[in-house]
Amino acid sequence: MTNPFDLTGQVAIVTGANTGIGQAIALSLAAAGADIAAVGRTPALETVQKVRALGRRAEIVSADLSTIEPVQRVVDETIATLGGLHILVNNAGIIRRADSVDFTEADWDAVIDTNLKVLFFLSQAAGRHMIGQGHGKIINIASLLSFQGGIRVPSYTASKSGVAGLTKLLANEWAAKGVNVNAIAPGYIATNNTAALQADETRNRQIQERIPAGHWGDASDIGGAAVFLASSAAGYIHGHTLAVDGGWLAR
């Protein structure tokens, strides 16, 4: 029987692949058979080494994703070095925190540009190629704040709500063209980015008490969801934002 989760022969772009969730997604896709273009401002040397240790090809594509300037080059370089493009994972993102009454235009623009504007235009560049070949998978990394408001992160909440909306819009336009566009909304995942929360005894306890599963997620949990959405097993899933949150939103 054919394994519906087999990604052998697929080429995946993963942005922000150097650490945390991005690295876990890259390694999970590679373990399922995909070759990886690790895209970001910081070279993902460790990720590339680990992917190659799994027997897959991997290349670093250096790009500052705070502007749309490199997006077409990212697609072109991936195709030139790895021979194709079948999967795009828009993982790269930033966050800025301040009370809404004090939030600056610079912090607004920086987050919206990286998390939403660049995500759209990289999806556009990849989507043109995928539509041309008649198939492809785009996976956006959304957030629990695609569903909830949060506090002190107005531009992040706006951007991640926008990611969920764009996921639906692109699915509406591209599903009939063979391109699946979906998103993953991670819950509280134990990574370097959440180390301060994990170290705060009170907040750590409060968070775990609020999660029905009773514990933080692992980055590999997001990797597993990415493999699913990138695979033929998810062929009829379009425009969905999959929460991987230990039940947080169900509470």
Query: Which residues are annotated as catalytic?
Result: 156
- 216: amino acid identity, one letter: W
Classify the phi-psi angles of 150: left when phi > 0, otherwise alpha if psi is within -120 to 50, otherwise beta: left
The β-bridge relationship of strands 179-186 and 241-244 is: parallel
**What element of type H or E holds 126?**
helix 118-133
Side by side, the strands of the sheet bearing 11-15 are 58-62, 35-40, 11-15, 87-90, 136-141, 179-186, 241-244
Residue 62's φ and ψ, nearest 5 degrees, are -75, 130
Distance (Å, whole) CA 34 – CA 26: 9
